[in-house]
């Protein structure tokens, strides 16, 4: 055989091998519902965990910008690309992925109530191709804290009527108010541009405001904070990440970066060969997993004196415009 023919065979073989290797490279699709500090922290936690454990994995990061149609398009993109694992950050994106992807693993991240959202039948076990992490926020603990800080008799609640997680939390808030003899005043929205006007429509009828895990509302938290300061309304938020930079009286919730790391660990387990049905849903139960942010500057503007014991408990304190992490 001539040298030229040998060279050609070797070259073709090398090219075939390169293509074959390229085709086996795995991709993880990561879709978040909207950009705001909490979900951004989740996304970063997922990226860091996967990148450290599986540096060879490619990541396809997408953002639906709080648009359900776009969330569906992203799910279709991941389906057609045959990603190794599809990750949905927040309820709407996770639902879009689960609705379209049936033949490969889907991991939901920081979904408030995965069962009522129709993602899994139980948190005790994963579904046929679905498992993930929940951030069911401690509503009653949050509301008890707000009521202890300010004399709340009429509680406002602004949430998105299109987010299953928000509907689940609204039911808990209503029940709490009924038990405590507090008047419940709600305003619902369908997109972030409606948040400020919705709050203004109830602002003169409330003396306290609660924001649960609502991604659409959180994306407009600056506007909410502005109204609350102007109307002197004490605000409890479930998003401590945003409260470090946006003036909110108090925020109690999960460390969302660590929630992202927990989600990433599940993705890595699946990449290592575990089945979703064998991986129970993850919900933090350790009180240490909660971050408490107190803004003393806001408290002063509202004329509130905070219990020193509560300030000592805080993991982050904002005072004199300075953020101090303990």
Range of the domain at 8: 3-135+256-278
Q: What is the CATH number of the domain that holds 58?
A: 3.40.50.2300
Please check whether residues 85 and 224 belong to one and the same domain: no
Please check whether residues 180 and 150 belong to one and the same domain: yes
Please check whether residues 195 and 118 belong to one and the same domain: no
Please check whether residues 31 and 175 belong to one and the same domain: no
Please check whether residues 17 and 119 belong to one and the same domain: yes
Please check whether residues 168 and 186 belong to one and the same domain: yes
- Rounded-to-integer distance, Cα 128 and Cα 222, Å: 40
- Characterize the bridge pairing of strands 183-189 and 208-211: unpaired
Please check whether residues 304 and 219 belong to one and the same domain: yes
* Backbone angles phi and psi of 237, in degrees to 5: -120, 150
Q: What is the pLDDT of residues 23-79, one digit of tens each?
A: 478 999 999 999 998 999 999 999 999 999 999 999 999 999 999 999 999 999 999
Closest CA to 29 of 70, 68, 67, 77: 77
* Backbone angles phi and psi of 141, in degrees to 5: -65, -40
Task: Please state the domain count of the chain.
Answer: 2
Average pLDDT over residues 235-256: 95
Please check whether residues 205 and 228 belong to one and the same domain: yes
Burial 45-69 (b: 16+ CB within 10 A, else e): bbbebbeeebeebebbebbbebeee
Q: What is the pLDDT of residues 97-115, one digit of tens each?
A: 999 999 999 999 999 999 9
- DSSP string for residues in 279-312: S--B----GGGEEEEEEHHHHHHHT----HHHHH
Please check whether residues 204 and 127 belong to one and the same domain: no
Tokens of 147: 């009521």
List the alpha helices (DSSP H) in the chain: 3-23, 37-53, 68-81, 91-100, 139-149, 164-180, 195-202, 215-218, 221-231, 240-243, 256-271, 296-302, 308-313
Q: Answer with the residue of higher pLDDT: 12 or 245.
A: 245
Please check whether residues 158 and 297 belong to one and the same domain: yes
Average pLDDT, the chain: 92
CB 212 within 8 A of CB 203: no
Could you tell me the pTM of the whole model?
A: 0.81
| Matching residue, tokens 């065979």 | 9
Please check whether residues 87 and 225 belong to one and the same domain: no
Please check whether residues 145 and 130 belong to one and the same domain: no
- Judged against a pLDDT cut of 80, whether residue 21 lies above it is answered with no
- Judged against a pLDDT cut of 60, whether residue 14 lies above it is answered with no
Kindly report the length of the chain.
326
- Rounded-to-integer distance, Cα 108 and Cα 23, Å: 26
């Amino acid at each position: 055989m001539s040298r030229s023919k040998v060279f050609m065979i070797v070259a073709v073989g090398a090219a075939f091998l390169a293509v074959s290797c390229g085709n086996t490279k795995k991709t993880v699709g990561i879709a978040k519902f909207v950009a705001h500090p909490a979900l951004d922290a989740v996304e970063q936690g997922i990226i860091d965990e996967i990148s450290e454990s599986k540096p060879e994995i490619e990541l396809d990061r997408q953002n639906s910008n709080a648009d359900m149609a776009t969330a569906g398009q992203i799910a279709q993109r991941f389906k057609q690309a045959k990603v190794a694992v599809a990750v949905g950050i927040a309820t709407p994106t996770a639902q879009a992925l689960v609705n379209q992807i049936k033949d490969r693993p889907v991991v939901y991240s920081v979904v408030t109530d995965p069962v009522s959202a129709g993602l899994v039948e139980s948190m005790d076990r994963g579904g046929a191709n679905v498992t993930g992490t929940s951030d069911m926020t401690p509503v009653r603990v949050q509301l008890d804290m707000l009521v202890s800080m300010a004399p709340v008799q009429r509680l406002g609640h602004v949430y998105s009527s299109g987010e299953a997680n928000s509907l689940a939390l609204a039911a808990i808030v209503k029940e709490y108010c009924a038990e405590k003899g507090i008047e419940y005043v709600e305003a619902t929205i369908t997109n972030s541009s409606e948040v400020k006007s919705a709050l203004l429509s109830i602002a003169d009828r409330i003396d306290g405001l609660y924001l649960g895990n609502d991604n659409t509302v959180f994306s407009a938290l600056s506007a909410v904070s502005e109204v609350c300061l102007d109307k002197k309304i004490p605000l409890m938020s479930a998003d401590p990440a945003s409260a470090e930079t946006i003036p909110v009286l108090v925020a109690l919730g999960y460390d969302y970066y660590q929630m992202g790391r927990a989600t990433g660990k599940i993705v890595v387990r699946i990449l290592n060969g575990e089945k979703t049905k064998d991986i129970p849903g993850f919900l933090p139960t350790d009180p240490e997993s909660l971050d408490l942010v107190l803004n003393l500057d806001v408290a002063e503007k509202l004329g509130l004196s905070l219990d020193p014991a509560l300030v000592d408990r805080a993991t982050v304190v904002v005072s004199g415009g300075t953020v101090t992490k303990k």
